[in-house]
């Protein structure tokens, strides 16, 4: 175990001291900050609302909020107004001066304006009690739908980029040590599984540093810009689960990457030997984007338990929809089991192939070798 930690510390120290790592981390953090402020920057000159009327008078909302634009549309009956709300033609509809129809939970700012202005508008004499407007949703609660879609899209892209980058980094490190014969010197002091495990652990910590920095800066910038106000509840738990899923996905792909890379001795051959693994992670990425459209559908539900798809599909489902805790735990357990299997397979291939230089080895031949 001491050998494993020694190798891991060596990998971490080597990577974080490089200029490429520091510059890459700074640039990434700056880009995340800029992206968090883009909605506010591009939002232009304030909010605007389109409101429907059925047997009601227009409320003087403009007087209470001069910086907000209001457009009023009149409808013949409540059915027509209800359909307009569901179609997105209006943000809300005032019916009979007593009810407000919305699609899901009403925008907080609009709700406060309607309640306060309605009370002042109807208050004819001191002491007259004015009942509050009845807020009635005519559709599903879609308040956080767009925010969930945005968060899920960012998370799947982030996981894909980090997993792909760390996977290639592990492979290049294995080939570099094998091609330069440094691995022979290292194996004189540590066992093969310690060298492999230390490399995977060390580069995994480097990947976690990048991921944590992105998440912390992104959430902080979103809070400052006001974008976080639109985030769905439970963002803290979601971020923690993303870290867990990164660790599981990284362990799976990095182990296979190291095993495949140990079959070759030149860095020029890395891309070709990693082709099956690259296709696998690309398929996982594209499936995850498809799941964004139907996070609660049959395909999403099934693939969230199938490694390695679950490493991206389940985080997307958790961000885009409500997922029961037991499903998340079951999915993580299955993925962890798959990681253990891959670790056993990968360490066997690595141990048998890493000292064999020359022509490219075949995966099946190495497994059959004794």
**pLDDT 10s digits, 292-347:** 888 888 888 999 999 999 999 999 888 888 888 999 999 999 999 999 999 999 99
Report residue 91: phi and psi, to 5°. Answer: -80, -30
Enter the tokens of residue 306: 């199938």
Return the half-sphere exposure (C-beta side, CA atoms, 13 A cut-off) of residue 320. 25
Please state, in angstroms and rounded to a whole number, the distance separating the CA atoms of residues 224 and 18: 31
Produce one character per residue of 149-184: b if its CB has 16 or more CB atoms within 10 Å, e if not: bbbbbebbebbbebbbebbbbbbebbbebbbeeebe
Gap between the Cα atoms of 178 and 180, Å rounded: 6
Query: Is it the case that residue 126 has pLDDT exceeding 50?
Result: no
Q: Which residue, chain included where needed, has tokens 């490219």?
A: 360
Cα atoms in the Cβ-side hemisphere of radius 13 Å centred on 234: 13
Mean pLDDT of 67-80: 89
pLDDT digits (tens, 9 = 90+) for 141-167: 555 666 777 788 888 888 999 999 999
Q: Is 59 helix (H, G, I), strand (E, B) or coil?
A: coil
Buried b (16+ CB within 10 A) or exposed e, 269-295: ebeebbeebbebbeebbebbeebbeeb
Cis peptide before 308 (omega within 30 of 0): yes
Q: What is the mean pLDDT of the chain?
A: 85
Only one residue has tokens 């089991």, namely 337
Sort 75 into a burial class: Cβ within 10 Å, 0-12 / 13-18 / 19+. buried
Domains of the chain and CATH, by start: 2-39+144-368 (no CATH), 48-137 (3.40.190)
Neighbours of 347 (CB within 10 A): 19
Residue appearing with tokens 């209006």 = 90
Select the more confidently predicted residue: 365 or 273.
273
Q: Which residue has the higher pLDDT, 355 or 245?
A: 245
Q: pTM for this structure?
A: 0.74
Query: What pLDDT is recorded for position 245?
Result: 94
């Amino acid at each position: 175990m001491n050998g494993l930690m020694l190798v891991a510390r060596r990998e971490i120290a080597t990577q974080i001291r490089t200029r490429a790592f520091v510059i890459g981390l700074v640039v990434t953090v700056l880009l995340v900050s800029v992206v968090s402020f883009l909605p506010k920057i591009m939002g232009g000159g304030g909010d605007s609302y389109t409101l429907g009327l059925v047997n009601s008078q227009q409320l003087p909302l403009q007087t209470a909020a001069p910086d907000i634009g209001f457009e009023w549309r009149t409808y013949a009956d409540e059915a027509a107004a209800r359909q307009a709300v569901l179609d997105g033609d209006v943000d809300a509809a005032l019916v009979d001066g007593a009810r407000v129809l919305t699609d899901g939970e009403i925008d907080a700012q609009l709700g406060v304006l309607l309640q306060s202005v309605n009370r002042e508008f109807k208050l004819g004499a001191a002491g007259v009690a004015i009942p509050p407007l009845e807020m009635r949703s005519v559709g599903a609660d879609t308040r956080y739908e767009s925010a969930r879609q945005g968060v899920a899209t960012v998370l799947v892209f982030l996981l894909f980029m980090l997993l792909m980058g760390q996977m290639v980094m592990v492979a290049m490190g294995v080939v570099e040590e094998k091609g330069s014969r440094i691995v022979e010197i290292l194996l004189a002091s540590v066992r093969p599984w310690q060298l492999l495990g230390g490399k995977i652990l060390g580069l995994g910590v480097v990947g976690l540093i990048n991921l944590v920095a992105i998440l912390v800066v992104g959430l902080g910038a979103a809070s400052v810009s006001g974008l976080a106000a639109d985030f769905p509840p439970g963002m803290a738990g979601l971020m923690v689960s993303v870290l867990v899923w990164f660790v599981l996905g990284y362990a799976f792909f990095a182990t296979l990457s190291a095993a495949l890379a140990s079959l070759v001795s030149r860095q020029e051959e890395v891309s070709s030997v990693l082709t099956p693994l690259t296709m696998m992670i690309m398929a996982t990425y594209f499936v995850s984007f498809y799941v964004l459209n139907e996070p609660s559908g049959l395909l999403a539900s099934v693939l969230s338990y199938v490694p390695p798809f679950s490493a991206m599909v389940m985080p997307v489902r958790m961000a885009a929809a409500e997922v029961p805790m037991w499903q998340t735990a079951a999915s993580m357990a299955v993925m962890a089991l798959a990681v253990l299997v891959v670790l056993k397979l990968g360490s066997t291939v690595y141990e048998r192939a890493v000292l064999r230089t020359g022509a490219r080895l075949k995966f099946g031949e190495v497994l059959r070798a004794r």
